[in-house]
Amino acid sequence: MSDSSEDVAYHLSEQHRKAALENRERLVPIVDTILLRGRLRIALCGHRDDGELHFNSAIVGMEGNFISVLAFRVQSRDVALSDHFSKASKKATHISKRIQNDLIDLCGNEILEQIVKEILTCNCFAILVDETSDTSHAEQLCICISCVTSNAVIKERFLGFANLDDLSASSIAHGIQTRLTSLGISIKSRVGQGYDGASVMSGKSNGDQAIIKEKAPAAAYVHRARLCLNLT
């Protein structure tokens, strides 16, 4: 109280800032490990994921790929990671399956943001759509974009899945428009539609392509011949 140069609010704010920086530094090696697994296309859990992270014991293969790499980093003298696991409580290690999924979602959002930026730099694009179902048999729409970059390179980019109430043409068209709008992509920029030959998709009067054309008259429909190869 005798030191009037800095008030209590400043010290509280400074302490909070330091704690935030420390927490971010602790997350860096964990996020790096998830990114490494993604780049190498190695599942985080692997065949089994029944073990826990142990600092001084050998990796026995029961920990799963993600935990095993973290344990290897600790044993290889990763000071920041070792300090985090030695001081954090069991409920704040940031390596649970839920946290893994949250970090994967964040990585996916960042990748999708970069893909959208790339699409928006193109003058035109075509949308490639097909219906599929997940393991619970819920109907969903797989949406991809084909675009030509400024240096004349054709690229196909996956934009994610859209949930469907039913398999009607109006539901499919609504799913496409909702997904593109949520990503900030204008449907009027599109000059192509690529679907299979099913009438609900390709129907000239009541198909999905006809509904889309009402919003984007220049969106020519072309049968997606490569779909046969993709399905195979």
pLDDT digits (tens, 9 = 90+) for 175-228: 888 888 899 888 776 778 888 777 787 787 778 888 888 888 888 888 776 666
**Helices 79-87 and 8-40, axial angle in degrees (round to 10):** 120
Over 60: is that where the pLDDT of 65 sits?
Answer: yes
Q: What is the rounded average pLDDT for all residues in the chain?
A: 81
- Please compute the mean of the pLDDT values over residues 116-140 and round it to a whole number: 83
Give the residue from 20, 10, 15, 219 showing the smallest Cα distance to 128.
219
Structure tokens at 123: 């003058």
Q: CA-CA-CA-CA torsion for 82, 85, 86, 91, nearest 10 degrees?
A: 180
Identify the CATH homologous superfamily for domain 112-231: ATPase, nucleotide binding domain (3.30.420.40)
Name, in order, each residue with C-beta under 8 angstroms of 71's C-beta and a sequence gap of 6 or more. 53, 54, 55, 59, 63
Give the residue from 126, 110, 134 showing the smallest Cα distance to 191.
126
- Please compute the mean of the pLDDT values over residues 35-42 and round it to a whole number: 90
What residues does each domain of the chain span? 8-95, 112-231
Over residues 73-122, the pLDDT tens digits come to 888 888 888 888 888 888 888 888 888 899 999 999 999 999 999 988 88
Cα(159)–Cα(196) distance, integer angstroms: 18
Confidence of residue 10 (pLDDT cuts 50, 70, 90): low
pLDDT at residue 213, as a whole number: 83
Instruction: Pick 35 or 124 by higher pLDDT.
Output: 35
Over residues 154-175, the pLDDT tens digits come to 888 999 888 888 888 888 888 8
DSSP structure class, residue 224? -
CA dist 169 → 68, 90, 139, 204, 232 (Å): 48, 50, 13, 11, 25
Confidence of residue 35 (pLDDT cuts 50, 70, 90): very high
pLDDT at residue 229, as a whole number: 61
Which conformational region is residue 231 in: left (phi greater than 0), alpha (psi within -120 to 50 degrees), or beta? alpha
